Amino acid sequence: MGLFGWLFGEFVDVIEWTDDSNDTLVYRFERYDHAIKYGAKLTVRESQVAVLVNEGRVADLYEPGLYELETNNMPILTTLENWPHGFKSPFKVEVYFLNMRRFTDLKWGTRHPVMLRDPEFGPVRLRAFGSYGLRIREPITFLKEIVGTDGHFQTSEISGQLRNLIASRFASIVGEANIPILDLAANYDELGEFITGRLQPEFAEYGLELTRLLVENISLPETVEKALDQRSSMGIIGNLRQYTQYQAANSLASSGGSSEGLGLGAGLAMGQEMARQLTQPQGNPPPLPSQVEYYVALEGRRLGPFDATALEQQILAGKIRPDTLIWKPSLEEWTPAAKVPEIALLLPKLPPPLP
Protein backbone atom coordinates (compact mmCIF):
# COMPACT_ATOMS: atom_id res chain seq x y z
CA MET A 1 0.00 0.00 0.00
CA GLY A 2 1.43 3.43 -0.95
CA LEU A 3 1.68 6.38 1.38
CA PHE A 4 -1.47 8.12 0.11
CA GLY A 5 -3.42 4.87 0.10
CA TRP A 6 -2.41 4.25 3.70
CA LEU A 7 -3.40 7.76 4.74
CA PHE A 8 -6.77 7.42 2.95
CA GLY A 9 -7.52 4.12 4.66
CA GLU A 10 -6.36 5.45 8.03
CA PHE A 11 -8.24 8.73 8.29
CA VAL A 12 -11.40 8.33 6.19
CA ASP A 13 -13.74 6.45 8.49
CA VAL A 14 -17.24 7.47 7.28
CA ILE A 15 -19.03 5.02 4.99
CA GLU A 16 -22.17 6.26 3.22
CA TRP A 17 -23.99 6.34 -0.13
CA THR A 18 -22.35 9.02 -2.27
CA ASP A 19 -23.97 8.28 -5.65
CA ASP A 20 -26.37 11.03 -6.83
CA SER A 21 -28.12 9.24 -9.72
CA ASN A 22 -31.87 8.52 -9.66
CA ASP A 23 -31.89 5.05 -11.21
CA THR A 24 -29.26 3.23 -9.13
CA LEU A 25 -30.42 0.07 -7.41
CA VAL A 26 -27.10 -0.99 -5.84
CA TYR A 27 -24.04 1.12 -5.03
CA ARG A 28 -20.75 -0.26 -3.71
CA PHE A 29 -18.80 2.08 -1.45
CA GLU A 30 -15.40 2.54 -3.04
CA ARG A 31 -12.53 2.27 -0.58
CA TYR A 32 -8.87 1.88 -1.35
CA ASP A 33 -8.04 -1.84 -1.27
CA HIS A 34 -11.45 -2.36 0.43
CA ALA A 35 -9.76 -1.59 3.77
CA ILE A 36 -12.27 -0.50 6.44
CA LYS A 37 -11.01 1.06 9.65
CA TYR A 38 -12.17 -0.64 12.81
CA GLY A 39 -14.75 1.63 14.47
CA ALA A 40 -15.69 3.38 11.20
CA LYS A 41 -19.06 5.10 11.06
CA LEU A 42 -21.61 3.50 8.73
CA THR A 43 -24.51 5.77 7.72
CA VAL A 44 -27.57 4.05 6.26
CA ARG A 45 -30.31 6.48 5.23
CA GLU A 46 -34.03 5.88 4.95
CA SER A 47 -35.03 3.67 2.00
CA GLN A 48 -31.57 2.05 2.09
CA VAL A 49 -29.93 -1.06 3.52
CA ALA A 50 -26.24 -1.84 3.68
CA VAL A 51 -24.66 -5.28 3.28
CA LEU A 52 -21.10 -6.26 4.25
CA VAL A 53 -19.49 -8.83 1.94
CA ASN A 54 -16.36 -10.58 3.17
CA GLU A 55 -14.31 -12.62 0.68
CA GLY A 56 -17.32 -13.11 -1.58
CA ARG A 57 -19.67 -14.14 1.24
CA VAL A 58 -22.54 -12.00 2.49
CA ALA A 59 -21.99 -11.17 6.13
CA ASP A 60 -24.00 -8.56 8.04
CA LEU A 61 -26.99 -6.48 6.93
CA TYR A 62 -27.80 -3.03 8.32
CA GLU A 63 -31.12 -1.17 8.14
CA PRO A 64 -31.41 2.66 8.31
CA GLY A 65 -29.38 4.17 11.13
CA LEU A 66 -25.86 5.18 12.24
CA TYR A 67 -23.51 2.36 13.16
CA GLU A 68 -19.98 2.09 14.52
CA LEU A 69 -18.38 -0.98 12.97
CA GLU A 70 -17.11 -3.01 15.88
CA THR A 71 -17.24 -6.67 16.78
CA ASN A 72 -20.43 -6.23 18.81
CA ASN A 73 -22.49 -5.08 15.79
CA MET A 74 -20.77 -7.29 13.20
CA PRO A 75 -21.67 -10.71 14.63
CA ILE A 76 -21.51 -12.72 11.39
CA LEU A 77 -18.32 -11.09 10.13
CA THR A 78 -16.72 -11.51 13.56
CA THR A 79 -17.59 -15.22 13.49
CA LEU A 80 -16.25 -15.65 9.97
CA GLU A 81 -12.93 -14.00 10.82
CA ASN A 82 -12.69 -15.45 14.35
CA TRP A 83 -11.53 -12.13 15.68
CA PRO A 84 -10.38 -11.90 19.29
CA HIS A 85 -11.99 -9.39 21.62
CA GLY A 86 -10.58 -5.90 21.18
CA PHE A 87 -9.59 -6.28 17.50
CA LYS A 88 -8.35 -2.83 16.36
CA SER A 89 -6.69 -3.32 12.97
CA PRO A 90 -8.28 -2.38 9.62
CA PHE A 91 -10.11 -5.20 7.85
CA LYS A 92 -11.01 -5.84 4.23
CA VAL A 93 -14.68 -5.92 3.43
CA GLU A 94 -16.97 -4.66 0.65
CA VAL A 95 -19.94 -2.47 1.58
CA TYR A 96 -22.94 -2.57 -0.77
CA PHE A 97 -25.80 -0.10 -0.40
CA LEU A 98 -29.17 -1.20 -1.81
CA ASN A 99 -31.84 1.34 -2.72
CA MET A 100 -35.15 0.07 -1.28
CA ARG A 101 -37.39 2.81 -2.65
CA ARG A 102 -40.00 2.23 -5.37
CA PHE A 103 -38.87 2.71 -8.98
CA THR A 104 -41.76 3.76 -11.22
CA ASP A 105 -42.55 4.44 -14.88
CA LEU A 106 -40.50 1.55 -16.23
CA LYS A 107 -41.80 0.65 -19.70
CA TRP A 108 -42.93 -2.69 -21.09
CA GLY A 109 -44.49 -3.70 -24.40
CA THR A 110 -44.94 -6.56 -26.85
CA ARG A 111 -42.20 -6.40 -29.46
CA HIS A 112 -44.30 -8.46 -31.89
CA PRO A 113 -48.10 -9.04 -32.07
CA VAL A 114 -49.32 -11.88 -29.86
CA MET A 115 -52.01 -14.33 -30.97
CA LEU A 116 -55.16 -14.75 -28.88
CA ARG A 117 -58.46 -16.56 -29.38
CA ASP A 118 -61.46 -14.27 -28.90
CA PRO A 119 -64.93 -15.82 -28.32
CA GLU A 120 -66.52 -13.43 -30.85
CA PHE A 121 -63.87 -12.80 -33.52
CA GLY A 122 -61.85 -16.01 -33.26
CA PRO A 123 -58.01 -15.84 -33.55
CA VAL A 124 -56.76 -12.24 -33.40
CA ARG A 125 -53.37 -10.57 -33.06
CA LEU A 126 -52.82 -7.62 -30.79
CA ARG A 127 -50.09 -5.42 -29.35
CA ALA A 128 -49.95 -3.95 -25.86
CA PHE A 129 -47.73 -1.62 -23.88
CA GLY A 130 -47.70 0.13 -20.53
CA SER A 131 -45.55 0.81 -17.49
CA TYR A 132 -44.71 -0.88 -14.20
CA GLY A 133 -43.01 -0.20 -10.88
CA LEU A 134 -40.67 -2.33 -8.79
CA ARG A 135 -38.55 -2.29 -5.68
CA ILE A 136 -36.08 -4.56 -3.94
CA ARG A 137 -37.87 -6.92 -1.58
CA GLU A 138 -35.09 -9.32 -0.51
CA PRO A 139 -31.72 -7.48 -0.54
CA ILE A 140 -29.51 -10.53 -0.10
CA THR A 141 -31.38 -12.56 -2.76
CA PHE A 142 -31.13 -9.67 -5.21
CA LEU A 143 -27.44 -9.21 -4.44
CA LYS A 144 -26.68 -12.90 -4.96
CA GLU A 145 -28.92 -13.66 -7.94
CA ILE A 146 -28.69 -10.46 -10.01
CA VAL A 147 -26.03 -7.97 -8.93
CA GLY A 148 -23.05 -10.22 -8.25
CA THR A 149 -19.94 -8.05 -8.09
CA ASP A 150 -21.36 -5.08 -10.01
CA GLY A 151 -20.46 -1.99 -8.01
CA HIS A 152 -22.95 0.34 -9.71
CA PHE A 153 -26.11 -1.55 -10.68
CA GLN A 154 -28.84 0.53 -12.37
CA THR A 155 -32.42 -0.18 -13.47
CA SER A 156 -31.39 -0.24 -17.13
CA GLU A 157 -29.35 -3.39 -16.47
CA ILE A 158 -32.41 -5.43 -15.54
CA SER A 159 -35.34 -3.58 -17.15
CA GLY A 160 -34.77 -5.35 -20.47
CA GLN A 161 -35.01 -8.78 -18.86
CA LEU A 162 -38.14 -7.80 -16.91
CA ARG A 163 -39.72 -6.29 -20.02
CA ASN A 164 -39.21 -9.54 -21.92
CA LEU A 165 -40.61 -11.50 -18.98
CA ILE A 166 -43.80 -9.42 -18.92
CA ALA A 167 -44.27 -9.59 -22.69
CA SER A 168 -43.74 -13.35 -22.83
CA ARG A 169 -46.34 -13.96 -20.10
CA PHE A 170 -48.85 -11.41 -21.43
CA ALA A 171 -50.58 -13.64 -24.01
CA SER A 172 -51.18 -16.57 -21.66
CA ILE A 173 -52.33 -14.34 -18.80
CA VAL A 174 -54.77 -12.37 -20.98
CA GLY A 175 -56.09 -15.64 -22.37
CA GLU A 176 -56.78 -16.90 -18.85
CA ALA A 177 -58.51 -13.62 -17.94
CA ASN A 178 -61.19 -14.50 -20.57
CA ILE A 179 -62.00 -10.87 -21.36
CA PRO A 180 -63.42 -10.27 -24.88
CA ILE A 181 -61.34 -8.07 -27.17
CA LEU A 182 -64.02 -5.36 -27.33
CA ASP A 183 -64.15 -5.21 -23.50
CA LEU A 184 -60.40 -4.94 -22.88
CA ALA A 185 -60.39 -1.14 -23.05
CA ALA A 186 -62.95 -1.00 -20.23
CA ASN A 187 -60.95 -3.42 -18.05
CA TYR A 188 -57.40 -2.06 -18.16
CA ASP A 189 -57.26 -1.63 -14.37
CA GLU A 190 -58.58 -5.13 -13.63
CA LEU A 191 -56.28 -6.62 -16.25
CA GLY A 192 -53.26 -4.81 -14.78
CA GLU A 193 -54.04 -6.11 -11.29
CA PHE A 194 -54.53 -9.64 -12.64
CA ILE A 195 -51.18 -9.58 -14.46
CA THR A 196 -49.44 -8.11 -11.39
CA GLY A 197 -50.64 -10.98 -9.22
CA ARG A 198 -49.59 -13.61 -11.74
CA LEU A 199 -46.08 -12.16 -12.26
CA GLN A 200 -45.35 -11.52 -8.58
CA PRO A 201 -43.82 -14.98 -7.87
CA GLU A 202 -41.42 -14.68 -10.82
CA PHE A 203 -40.23 -11.26 -9.67
CA ALA A 204 -39.74 -12.68 -6.16
CA GLU A 205 -37.21 -15.16 -7.57
CA TYR A 206 -35.00 -12.15 -8.32
CA GLY A 207 -35.55 -10.65 -4.87
CA LEU A 208 -37.82 -7.98 -6.38
CA GLU A 209 -41.43 -6.93 -5.89
CA LEU A 210 -43.67 -5.89 -8.78
CA THR A 211 -45.51 -3.03 -7.10
CA ARG A 212 -47.96 -2.33 -9.92
CA LEU A 213 -48.33 -2.97 -13.63
CA LEU A 214 -50.37 -0.61 -15.81
CA VAL A 215 -51.85 -1.48 -19.19
CA GLU A 216 -51.94 1.78 -21.14
CA ASN A 217 -53.01 0.56 -24.58
CA ILE A 218 -54.03 -2.60 -26.41
CA SER A 219 -54.28 -2.27 -30.18
CA LEU A 220 -55.39 -4.58 -32.99
CA PRO A 221 -53.81 -4.76 -36.46
CA GLU A 222 -54.83 -1.91 -38.77
CA THR A 223 -56.90 -4.15 -41.07
CA VAL A 224 -58.87 -5.54 -38.12
CA GLU A 225 -59.51 -2.05 -36.76
CA LYS A 226 -60.85 -0.95 -40.17
CA ALA A 227 -63.16 -3.98 -40.26
CA LEU A 228 -64.46 -3.10 -36.79
CA ASP A 229 -65.06 0.49 -37.87
CA GLN A 230 -67.05 -0.70 -40.88
CA ARG A 231 -69.05 -3.05 -38.70
CA SER A 232 -69.85 -0.24 -36.28
CA SER A 233 -70.91 2.00 -39.15
CA MET A 234 -73.25 -0.69 -40.47
CA GLY A 235 -74.78 -1.04 -37.03
CA ILE A 236 -75.42 2.70 -36.83
CA ILE A 237 -76.85 3.05 -40.36
CA GLY A 238 -78.92 -0.15 -40.25
CA ASN A 239 -79.96 -1.61 -43.61
CA LEU A 240 -77.64 0.06 -46.12
CA ARG A 241 -80.01 -0.47 -49.07
CA GLN A 242 -82.95 1.14 -47.34
CA TYR A 243 -80.73 3.98 -46.22
CA THR A 244 -79.62 4.59 -49.84
CA GLN A 245 -83.20 4.50 -51.10
CA TYR A 246 -84.28 6.92 -48.42
CA GLN A 247 -81.50 9.35 -49.40
CA ALA A 248 -82.47 9.05 -53.08
CA ALA A 249 -86.17 9.67 -52.29
CA ASN A 250 -85.35 12.83 -50.38
CA SER A 251 -83.11 14.07 -53.21
CA LEU A 252 -85.76 13.43 -55.91
CA ALA A 253 -88.57 14.93 -53.87
CA SER A 254 -86.49 18.06 -53.34
CA SER A 255 -85.58 18.38 -57.04
CA GLY A 256 -89.17 17.61 -58.13
CA GLY A 257 -90.49 20.63 -56.24
CA SER A 258 -87.94 23.02 -57.67
CA SER A 259 -87.20 21.79 -61.20
CA GLU A 260 -89.23 23.24 -64.06
CA GLY A 261 -88.79 20.13 -66.27
CA LEU A 262 -90.38 17.76 -63.73
CA GLY A 263 -94.07 18.23 -63.02
CA LEU A 264 -95.72 18.01 -59.66
CA GLY A 265 -97.62 14.87 -60.62
CA ALA A 266 -94.51 13.05 -61.74
CA GLY A 267 -92.72 14.05 -58.54
CA LEU A 268 -95.56 12.70 -56.41
CA ALA A 269 -95.65 9.47 -58.42
CA MET A 270 -91.94 8.90 -57.94
CA GLY A 271 -92.25 9.66 -54.26
CA GLN A 272 -95.04 7.08 -53.93
CA GLU A 273 -92.95 4.50 -55.80
CA MET A 274 -90.02 5.15 -53.45
CA ALA A 275 -92.31 4.81 -50.46
CA ARG A 276 -93.66 1.51 -51.82
CA GLN A 277 -90.12 0.16 -52.27
CA LEU A 278 -89.19 1.18 -48.75
CA THR A 279 -92.18 -0.59 -47.22
CA GLN A 280 -91.85 -3.91 -49.07
CA PRO A 281 -89.08 -6.37 -48.18
CA GLN A 282 -85.98 -6.28 -50.41
CA GLY A 283 -83.93 -9.39 -51.12
CA ASN A 284 -83.42 -12.14 -48.59
CA PRO A 285 -84.32 -11.52 -44.95
CA PRO A 286 -81.47 -11.23 -42.45
CA PRO A 287 -80.45 -14.39 -40.58
CA LEU A 288 -82.14 -15.17 -37.29
CA PRO A 289 -80.21 -14.16 -34.20
CA SER A 290 -78.15 -16.96 -32.73
CA GLN A 291 -79.59 -18.77 -29.74
CA VAL A 292 -77.82 -18.38 -26.41
CA GLU A 293 -76.61 -21.73 -25.11
CA TYR A 294 -76.80 -22.52 -21.40
CA TYR A 295 -75.07 -25.18 -19.31
CA VAL A 296 -76.53 -26.55 -16.07
CA ALA A 297 -74.74 -28.15 -13.10
CA LEU A 298 -76.88 -30.97 -11.67
CA GLU A 299 -75.69 -33.53 -9.13
CA GLY A 300 -72.04 -32.76 -9.83
CA ARG A 301 -72.41 -33.12 -13.61
CA ARG A 302 -72.42 -30.55 -16.36
CA LEU A 303 -75.44 -30.85 -18.66
CA GLY A 304 -76.08 -28.99 -21.88
CA PRO A 305 -75.98 -27.00 -23.94
CA PHE A 306 -79.69 -25.98 -23.70
CA ASP A 307 -81.37 -23.27 -25.71
CA ALA A 308 -83.94 -20.99 -24.07
CA THR A 309 -86.88 -23.31 -24.91
CA ALA A 310 -85.19 -26.42 -23.56
CA LEU A 311 -84.11 -24.53 -20.44
CA GLU A 312 -87.70 -23.43 -19.80
CA GLN A 313 -88.82 -27.06 -20.04
CA GLN A 314 -86.23 -28.01 -17.44
CA ILE A 315 -87.57 -25.29 -15.14
CA LEU A 316 -91.19 -26.42 -15.60
CA ALA A 317 -90.11 -29.99 -14.83
CA GLY A 318 -88.66 -28.78 -11.52
CA LYS A 319 -85.10 -29.80 -12.34
CA ILE A 320 -83.78 -26.24 -12.25
CA ARG A 321 -84.28 -24.34 -8.99
CA PRO A 322 -83.20 -20.81 -7.98
CA ASP A 323 -79.92 -22.15 -6.51
CA THR A 324 -79.04 -24.33 -9.53
CA LEU A 325 -75.76 -23.20 -11.08
CA ILE A 326 -75.98 -21.87 -14.65
CA TRP A 327 -73.26 -20.85 -17.10
CA LYS A 328 -73.33 -19.17 -20.52
CA PRO A 329 -70.52 -17.61 -22.61
CA SER A 330 -71.11 -14.10 -21.24
CA LEU A 331 -70.70 -15.23 -17.59
CA GLU A 332 -67.25 -15.40 -16.03
CA GLU A 333 -68.19 -18.20 -13.60
CA TRP A 334 -71.04 -20.51 -12.63
CA THR A 335 -73.95 -18.40 -11.32
CA PRO A 336 -77.15 -19.34 -9.44
CA ALA A 337 -80.18 -19.34 -11.73
CA ALA A 338 -81.91 -16.69 -9.61
CA LYS A 339 -79.10 -14.24 -10.42
CA VAL A 340 -79.33 -14.67 -14.21
CA PRO A 341 -81.96 -12.05 -15.21
CA GLU A 342 -83.56 -13.87 -18.16
CA ILE A 343 -83.77 -17.15 -16.21
CA ALA A 344 -85.01 -15.53 -13.00
CA LEU A 345 -88.15 -14.40 -14.85
CA LEU A 346 -88.99 -18.05 -15.67
CA LEU A 347 -88.53 -19.39 -12.15
CA PRO A 348 -91.67 -20.00 -10.07
CA LYS A 349 -92.34 -17.34 -7.50
CA LEU A 350 -91.92 -18.69 -3.97
CA PRO A 351 -93.44 -17.04 -0.88
CA PRO A 352 -91.03 -15.35 1.51
CA PRO A 353 -90.05 -17.16 4.73
CA LEU A 354 -92.44 -17.00 7.65
CA PRO A 355 -91.67 -14.34 10.23
Query: Domain-by-domain residue ranges, the chain?
Result: 3-99, 103-220, 222-252, 294-344
Region 117-137: mean pLDDT is 85
**pLDDT one-digit tens code per residue, 101-123:** 999 999 999 888 888 777 777 78
**pLDDT one-digit tens code per residue, 195-221:** 999 999 999 999 999 999 999 988 877
pTM above 0.75, yes or no: no
Going from the C-alpha of 161 to that of each of 124, 146, 157, 171, the distances in angstroms are: 26, 11, 8, 17
Q: Is the pLDDT of residue 85 over 50?
A: no
**pLDDT one-digit tens code per residue, 255-275:** 654 444 444 454 555 555 555
Name the superfamily (CATH) of residues 103-220.
Answer: Band 7 domain (3.30.479.30)
